Structure 1
Amino acid sequence: MHADQPAPPTPLDEFKFVLGLFTRLPVGRPREIPAARLGRTVWCFPLVGALVGGLAALGALIGAGFGLGPWSVAIVAIAVELLVTGALHEDGFADVADSFGGRDRETRLAIMRDSRIGAFGAVALWLLLSARLVLLAGLAGAGIGAGASIGAGAGIWTLVFALIGANAAARIALLIPLVLLPPARADGLGAGLGEPPREAGGAALVYGIGIGVVCFGWGVFAVAVAVLFAGVVMAMVGRQNLGGQTGDLLGATAALSLPLVLLAVGGNG
Structure 2
Amino acid sequence: MAKPWTEAATAFLWLSRLPVAGLLARAPVPLARAAWAFPLVGLVLGGFAGLVLMLAAWLGLPPGVAALLAVAVLVLGTGALHEDGLADYCDGCGGATTVRALEIMRDSRIGSYGVLGLVLVTGLRVAAIASAAEAGSLYAATAVLAAAALSRAGMVAALRLMRPARPDGLGHGAGRPSGAGVLLAWGLGAACLLVPASLTPAPVAAVAAALATCAAAQLWLGWRANRRLGGQTGDVLGALQQLGETATLLALVALRPMLA
Q: Do they fold alike, i.e. is TM over 0.5?
A: yes
The answer to whether structure 1 residue 176 and structure 2 residue 157 are counterparts is: yes
Q: 1:231: Cα distance to partner?
A: 1.9
Matched to 1:238, the amino acid is: A
Aligned to 2:200: none
**Please, which moves more after superposition, 255-264 or 203-212?**
203-212
Post-superposition Cα deviations, 1:59-89, rounded to whole Å, max 9, x if no partner, equal 1122112211111111110111111111111
Other-structure match for 1:18: 11
- The answer as to 2:225 corresponding to 1:238 is yes
1:213 and 2:194 are equivalent in the alignment: yes
**Maintained 8 Å contact 1:172/1:227:** no
Map of 2:77 onto structure 1: 84
Instruction: Measure, in 2, the Cα distance between the counterparts of 1:88 and 1:77.
Output: 16
How far apart are 1:140 and its partner, in Å?
0.3
Q: Which residue of 2 aligns with 1:41?
A: 34
The 2-side partners of 1:203 and 1:177 are apart by 14
Distance 2:161 2:4 in 1: 25
Contact 2:63 2:133 (8 Å CA) reproduced: yes
Report the counterpart of residue 146 of structure 1 in structure 2. Answer: none
Residue aligning to 1:101: 94
How many Å apart are 1:214 and its aligned residue?
A: 2.9
Return the letter of the residue paired with 1:233.
Answer: W
Which residue of structure 1 aligns with residue 51 of structure 2? 58
Structure 2 residue runs of 5 or longer lacking an equivalent are 198-202
Higher fraction of helix: 2
CA distance in 2, matches of 1:260, 1:92: 17
Distance 1:61 1:115 in 2: 36
Aligned pairs for 1:117-132 (under 5 A) are: 117-132=110-125
Question: Does structure 1 residue 136 correspond to structure 2 residue 96?
Answer: no
Asked if residue 203 in structure 1 is aligned to residue 180 in structure 2, the reply is: no
CA deviation profile, 1:16-66 (whole Å, cap 9, x unmatched): 1111111111113544335xx431211111111111100101111221122
Amino acid at match of 1:138: S
Q: Is the 8 A contact 2:193 2:207 kept in 1?
A: yes
**Does 1:192 find its partner at 2:173?**
yes
Kept in 2: contact 1:174–1:254 (CA 8 A): yes
SS at match of 1:141: helix
Identity %: 38
Amino acid at match of 1:83: L
Aligned to 2:237: 250
Indicate conservation of the 8 Å contact 1:90/1:125, yes or no. yes
Q: Which range moves more in the overlay, 64-73 or 244-253? A: 64-73
- Count of equivalent residues: 248
Structure 1 residue ranges, 4+ long, deviating more than 4 angstroms after superposition: none
Matched residue type, 2:64: W
3-state DSSP class of the match of 1:15? helix
Q: Secondary structure at the match of 1:21?
A: helix
| Offset of residue 204 of structure 1 | 1.2
CA positional deviation for 1:267: 5.2
